Structure 1
């Protein structure tokens, strides 16, 4: 199995994250091709609150992806499905285009969900809401053990609610 390292993003990560978010394969779905300064503000906002944690992901000592882990109860997503108080959500962007299409997304999603479920005993679900038109993302979530649980009409997209629950082995 591939071993990823996740660490909380810091302000000095803003240039790399801004570069990743400007990549066409990320920008289309995230719509956050912001300036470095705007990313510094976003990282500062997220790290100051209890809503979400921005993370940088490393593989083979190379940073290649951005992940946001968030508490659904503090997120606007809570308005769109019947959430549990302990649900966690995940957003993933593989910024390094040379790492796209190699199965790393599904491996990363599986490892992140496994880690959240192991480290948060009260959490029984990890969720995501990829755009229904983002077929590679929906497939990666499914390959990582997430199950399609309906569609959500969000202001900017129609999303697929993807849900990963605990298995008997994880309980």
Structure 2
């Protein structure tokens, strides 16, 4: 877990209201010294302020007070003396994402599978933790890391053979077969297999994928940078709306942060997963339609960048 997830107490910024939804935010003198040892601190303080003031839609950052902090947070230079909206802030790769975003990878069109047309070549799979954030609303540390076959297989096998999970995934297989499945996932450039953690404790498995190369693409108007999610919560103690809303918002946040060209994120669960349909609406996803895969009847769920950052943050 990264040290930059821990927010200071008390806050290192102070504010005064300018208008009903706009606040002037000024750094306290101690912020500069703390930020030298914690590169995420400035973004973390702004995150905490937005989280504790849900009616605040924008910040005004006075140039004189903030300009000395630009070396610790280069993105500040884009907004000094101007408004930084809530939506803009959470789209910045300044908080959460832990690797070079995919949109930094130079575009090149290729065709990797016969069932899909030309699509952008995808960047190499990142290593270790890809996203970490302390969520001030739930009070939980949420993180995602790349699946490690050496340490995660036994736990993953247990999860996949749980009757609740097996009902929807239909992969209640022995560990040897699941190991082959994971190695295939790790070798596939369009899929990123992840383990989700709360406070460092694994709770579930998530696959993030590029939809245009996926089996889903023929069933809707897939765009080159659409992302998709397959998910399961393996640990019973981490089920429920509090945990689901926290990790699902975080995963959606990560995928939008990872590539600014991604405008939509989709899921294709079984059509009868009513519990998921009801819960995921709270995170901004809506059901588009139902369709038939060869192996199951599914529902297409979708959120957009605009809707997510306007409604969820």
TM-score bracket for this pair, using the shorter chain length? over 0.9
Contact kept? 1:132, 1:138, Cα under 8 Å: no
- Structure 2, unaligned stretches of length 5 or more? 1-134
Contact kept? 2:284, 2:307, Cα under 8 Å: no
Secondary structure of 2:171's aligned partner: coil
Q: 1:7 is matched with which residue?
A: 145
State which drifts further: 119-128 or 152-161: 152-161
Secondary structure of 1:122's aligned partner: coil
Q: 1:132 is matched with which residue?
A: 271
- Structure 1, unaligned stretches of length 5 or more? none
> Following superposition of structure 1 onto structure 2, how do residues 14-163 of structure 1 map, counting pairs within 5 Å?
14-163=153-302
Contact kept? 1:88, 1:123, Cα under 8 Å: yes
Mark the structure with the bigger radius of gyration. Answer: 2
Distance 2:167 2:244 in 1: 17
Contact kept? 1:130, 1:138, Cα under 8 Å: no
Distance 1:29 1:139 in 2: 16
Deviation of residue 102 (structure 1)?
Answer: 4.2
Secondary structure of 1:85's aligned partner: coil
Q: TM-score, normalised by structure 2?
A: 0.52
Distance 2:167 2:307 in 1: 37
Q: TM-score, normalised by structure 1?
A: 0.92
Runs of 4+, deviation exceeding 4 Å: 168-171
Contact kept? 1:117, 1:170, Cα under 8 Å: no
Distance 2:229 2:304 in 1: 13
Distance 1:169 1:43, change over 3 A: closer
State which drifts further: 159-168 or 60-69: 159-168
More strand by share: 1
